[in-house]
């Protein structure tokens, strides 16, 4: 019997870059295949060829054993291929039902339909029927998509795919912005899709999730198919070795630390309705993990310390001295940096070069009289910090938006290294980046702590928090629910505190 999807010898070049070379890939009916690889390995290019966004240079695509020509997104849709991107493709000011049937309107019967009138009652009925198939409850088809959580928006995308009889659904990093409970709900829906005979391509950097939902994995490396295996054989070591072409000895290279004196101390931080009476301290050379469920107030604490959001009350002390931080500029002047969870919107200027981004925090110091920029000094600083964070390729002239996600995150880190900080707050520093870049960023965090920097680490990945932190603070509903030493901190204890249990 033929496969649902077969790709043979696909090649794609962008200028001097060979994005894909002789890639083979297939998906069977009722199968979930994990597509893995480092940033820049070719996953996105392969997905966009399937979606009709990019045209292949060479190779063949077969759907149900029949050669398929995919030149446009409409071709992909006609063939039953749906791609759910990390940045969801929905219209926020329209309702759920309008989005689900966006590409094939439910018209009134007869003359009214010919005049273009929409059968809203039928559209709502058909949307609810799709939800019933997927086991989706509590989602109002008449609610505007922009008012929904990310989880419900993803469910809307899945229903939209089924509305045009998709047979193959590609999910690109579908869990990156979901809390744990919503991830499990998504997995249940993926299992329903598999049981109905659909093929699913699941793209993720989270290996534990890949093992939980996939039947098989395929790994791309440098535009080539590096290999694959059934999920029963897919250990972390095997997958990582295929992804990076080498064994990563230690994903969490945390060395024992002897913290120094208190650098940052916050007392009674309160922002009405968001965070309430949060107090803690961080010592020189210490990594303090800030854990909690999505919406617990972790990011809000970070933004308050950094001066990005106003406080209702509370005090911040730096090296024992009370300070008033009313803006990020004041925080930077005091030696506090913040790597935000959304690097593309808040951490980088994507259209500018690596050079400009790396120098942003110290541009005034690199200018004559604070006004005329000394570009030779900018180049020297940018190159030094690009080398320090192991940027690849080591080119500071490239625009930041030409880099992979992992290398973009390295640029954000390098920007703060240039500023010679006392305190660095890291909010989801490894979200959406590959395992090789993740290990390098973990090594940088450890190195910065050993240089004496005080670090606050916020992450939704509990293994990361537990492995990299000297202490773990747990947030729950805007309050500090508890503090655990490195020895006390286990996933069970952190989750108990995060969910409000004593």
Tell me: do 303 and 208 sit in the same domain: no
Under 8 Å between Cβ of 390 and 440: yes
Containing domain of residue 280, as a range?
A: 262-498
SS (H, E, C) 314-366: EEEEECCEEECCCCHHHHHHHCEEEECCCHHHHHCCCCCEHHHHHCHHHCCCC
Tell me: do 238 and 272 sit in the same domain: no
pLDDT per residue over 203-219, tens digit each?
988 888 999 999 999 99
| CA atoms of 375 and 249, how far apart (whole Å) | 39
Under 8 Å between Cβ of 58 and 64: no
DSSP symbol at 4? S
Tell me: do 268 and 237 sit in the same domain: no
Tell me: do 171 and 277 sit in the same domain: no
The verdict on residue 128 lying in a domain is no
pLDDT at 104: 66
pLDDT per residue over 326-339, tens digit each?
999 999 999 999 99
Bridge partners of 220? 225
Which residues, 6 or more positions from 315, have their beta carbon under 8 angstroms from its beta carbon?
266, 267, 268, 322
- Which pair of tokens denotes residue 261? 């004196």
| CA atoms of 8 and 24, how far apart (whole Å) | 5
Residue among 19, 7, 83 at smallest CA distance from 51: 83
pLDDT at 46: 96
Residue among 108, 161, 97, 110 at smallest CA distance from 134: 161
Tell me: do 287 and 373 sit in the same domain: yes
Tell me: do 306 and 239 sit in the same domain: no
The verdict on residue 117 lying in a domain is no
The verdict on residue 108 lying in a domain is no
Under 8 Å between Cβ of 59 and 23: yes
Lateral strand order in the sheet of 17-27: 17-27, 5-14, 58-63, 66-67
pLDDT at 112: 46
12: domain CATH number is: 3.40.50.300
The verdict on residue 381 lying in a domain is yes
| CA atoms of 455 and 433, how far apart (whole Å) | 20
Query: With left for phi above 0 and alpha for psi between -120 and 50, is residue 431 left, alpha or beta?
Result: beta
Tell me: do 239 and 289 sit in the same domain: no
Bridge partners of 344? none
pLDDT at 370: 64
Which of 190, 215, 244 is the endpoint of a domain? 244
Mean pLDDT of successive 10-residue stretches along the chain, which has 502 residues: 90 88 96 89 93 96 95 94 87 91 63 59 88 86 89 89 92 81 88 95 90 96 93 90 75 88 97 95 98 89 96 96 95 95 87 91 78 83 90 89 86 90 95 82 93 95 92 95 95 89 65
Tell me: do 325 and 449 sit in the same domain: yes
Q: What's the domain count of the chain? A: 2
Tell me: do 415 and 275 sit in the same domain: yes
The verdict on residue 314 lying in a domain is yes
Which residues, 6 or more positions from 75, have their beta carbon under 8 angstroms from its beta carbon?
52, 68, 69
Residue among 266, 372, 244 at smallest CA distance from 324: 266
| Residue that the structure tokens 């650098």 belong to | 263
| CA atoms of 114 and 118, how far apart (whole Å) | 10
- Which pair of tokens denotes residue 454? 């005080």
DSSP string for residues in 220-288: EETTEEEEEEEGGG--HHHHHHHHHSS--S-SS-PPP----SEEEEEEEEEETTTEEEEEEEEETT-EE
The verdict on residue 145 lying in a domain is no
The verdict on residue 94 lying in a domain is no
Residue 22: its H or E element: strand 17-27
Percentages helix, strand, coil for the chain (3-state, rounded to 5) are 35, 25, 40
Tell me: do 213 and 336 sit in the same domain: no
Tell me: do 232 and 271 sit in the same domain: no
Cα distance between the two ends of the chain: 56
pLDDT at 247: 64
Which residues, 6 or more positions from 73, have their beta carbon under 8 angstroms from its beta carbon?
51, 52, 53
Tell me: do 404 and 472 sit in the same domain: yes
Note every long-range contact of 125-134, with CB atoms under 8 Å and residues 24 or more positions apart, other chains counting: 126/100, 126/101, 126/163, 127/96, 127/97, 127/100, 127/101, 127/159, 130/100, 130/159, 130/162, 130/163, 131/155, 131/159, 133/162, 133/192, 133/196, 134/158, 134/159, 134/162, 134/189, 134/192, 134/193
Which of 244, 274, 292 is the endpoint of a domain? 244
Measure CA 421 to chain center: 26
The verdict on residue 250 lying in a domain is no
Cβ neighbours of 195 (radius 10 Å): 9
The C-alpha torsion from 88 through 94 and 100 to 102, rounded to 10°, is -100
Which of 192, 215, 244 is the endpoint of a domain? 244
Q: Are strands 199-203 and 168-172 parallel, antiparallel or unpaired?
A: parallel
């Amino acid at each position: 019997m033929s496969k649902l999807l077969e790709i043979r010898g696909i090649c794609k070049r962008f200028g001097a870059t060979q994005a894909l070379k002789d890639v083979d890939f297939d998906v069977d009916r009722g199968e979930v295949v994990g597509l893995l690889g480092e940033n820049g390995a070719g996953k996105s290019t392969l997905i966009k060829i399937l979606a009709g966004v990019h045209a292949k240079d060479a190779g063949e695509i077969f759907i149900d054993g029949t050669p398929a020509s995919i030149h446009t997104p409409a071709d992909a849709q006609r063939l039953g291929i749906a791609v759910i991107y990390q940045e969801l493709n929905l219209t926020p000011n329209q309702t759920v039902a309008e989005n689900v049937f966006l590409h094939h309107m439910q018209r009134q019967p007869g003359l009214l339909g010919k005049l273009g009138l929409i059968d809203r009652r039928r559209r709502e009925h058909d949307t609810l029927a799709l939800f019933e198939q997927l086991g989706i409850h509590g989602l109002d088809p008449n609610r505007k998509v922009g008012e929904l959580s990310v989880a419900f928006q993803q469910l809307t995308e899945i229903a939209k795919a089924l509305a045009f009889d998709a047979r193959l659904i590609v999910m690109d990093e579908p869990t990156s912005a979901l809390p744990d409970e919503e991830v499990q709900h998504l997995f249940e829906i993926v299992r329903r899709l598999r049981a109905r005979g659909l093929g699913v391509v699941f793209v993720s950097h989270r290996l534990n999730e890949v093992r939980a939902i996939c039947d098989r994995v395929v790994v791309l490396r440098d535009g080539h198919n590096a290999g694959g295996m059934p999920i029963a054989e897919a250990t972390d070591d095997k997958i990582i070795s295929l992804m990076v072409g080498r064994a990563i000895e230690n994903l969490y290279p945390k060395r024992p630390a002897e913290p120094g004196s208190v650098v940052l101390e916050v007392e009674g931080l309160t922002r009405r309705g968001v965070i309430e009476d949060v107090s803690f301290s961080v010592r020189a050379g210490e990594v303090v993990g800030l854990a909690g469920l999505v919406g617990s107030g972790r990011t809000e604490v970070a933004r308050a310390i950094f001066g990005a959001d106003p406080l209702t009350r509370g005090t911040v002390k730096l090296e024992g001295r009370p300070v008033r931080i009313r803006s990020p500029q004041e925080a930077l002047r005091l030696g506090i940096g913040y790597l935000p969870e959304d690097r593309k919107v808040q951490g980088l200027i994507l259209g500018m070069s690596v050079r400009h981004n790396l120098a942003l925090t110290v541009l005034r110091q690199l200018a004559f009289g604070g006004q005329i920029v000394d570009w030779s000094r900018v180049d020297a600083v940018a190159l030094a910090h690009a080398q320090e964070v192991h940027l690849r390729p080591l080119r500071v002239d490239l625009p930041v938006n030409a880099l992979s996600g992992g290398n973009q995150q390295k640029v954000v880190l390098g920007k703060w290294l240039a500023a010679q900080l006392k305190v660095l707050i890291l909010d989801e520093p490894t979200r959406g980046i590959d395992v090789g870049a993740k290990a390098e960023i973990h090594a940088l965090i450890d190195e910065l702590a050993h240089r004496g920097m005080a670090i606050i680490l916020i992450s939704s990945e509990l293994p990361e928090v537990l492995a990299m932190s000297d202490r773990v603070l747990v947030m729950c509903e805007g309050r500090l629910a508890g503090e655990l030493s490195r020895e006390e901190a286990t996933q069970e204890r952190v989750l108990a505190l995060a969910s409000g249990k004593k």
